[in-house]
Amino acid sequence: MKIRTMNQHRQIWLLAVLSFFTIASYSQQDSQADKYLQAVSDQFDLSKSYVIHMDYIREDLMQETSAEGEAVIWMKGLKYKIMLDEYIVYYNEDKLYSQNTETEEVYVSEPDPDQPGYLQAVPIKIIKAYEQDFNYMYIGSSPMQGKSLIEIQLYPKDISGPYSMLKMFVNPGSHKLEVMQLKHKEGILYTMILSEMKADQTLKDSIFDFDPSAFPNTEIIELIE
């Protein structure tokens, strides 16, 4: 049960942000969406480092409950660190550490690029490999967070994962990503709002590693086979 809970919160971003999907119910790639998706891809330069602040809303559509919060993401290439309430996720391009500071546990795994779960573990790949991994559809102008944004719906080609749809909401003027929505097959809808994104070239690689000395009472649980 603990492993499932950690995975559910981790998948909010893997992220995220965040991250990262199934049911290819739409089997084409809509050319009207291409310029927006390419602009979003260009927005995230893998040669740069970023600090991203996000607000999130988690809605259980079946139970009609919701929760809100804030998150911070440090990102450098494929490496990232996410802080979300009591959860901290680190990825150093080799190992993924999913930490719960309340239960004092951290789960360690090694995402496999050849497995569907890799997109969830390395969310920037969703944006950078959208043509390879997704079918997508241009929806057009949609109201979102008090704005009129361009909505693009993406459906993963691999239908074995837990998510049914990813939506990107793009500013019609700047073509920059402002909001993402992720729908889980079990009826959970995650909305992620980018509130601030700054380039920061001072990020050290060590920030993307779990440091046992900083959390001496944390139990390390290896999920590596």
- Alpha-carbon gap, residue 81 to 100, rounded angstroms: 14
pLDDT at 176: 94
pLDDT at 85: 85
Detail the DSSP E strand segments found in the chain: 49-60, 65-76, 79-84, 87-91, 96-100, 105-109, 134-144, 147-156, 163-170, 177-184, 188-199, 219-222
Domain 2-222 matching CATH 3.40.50.300: the answer reads no
pLDDT at 4: 47
pLDDT at 7: 53
pLDDT at 6: 47
- Alpha-carbon gap, residue 113 to 92, rounded angstroms: 14
pLDDT at 211: 95
pLDDT at 162: 63
**pTM of the full predicted structure?**
0.77
pLDDT at 10: 47
- Residues of the chain under the 70 pLDDT cut: 1-27, 114-121, 161-162, 225
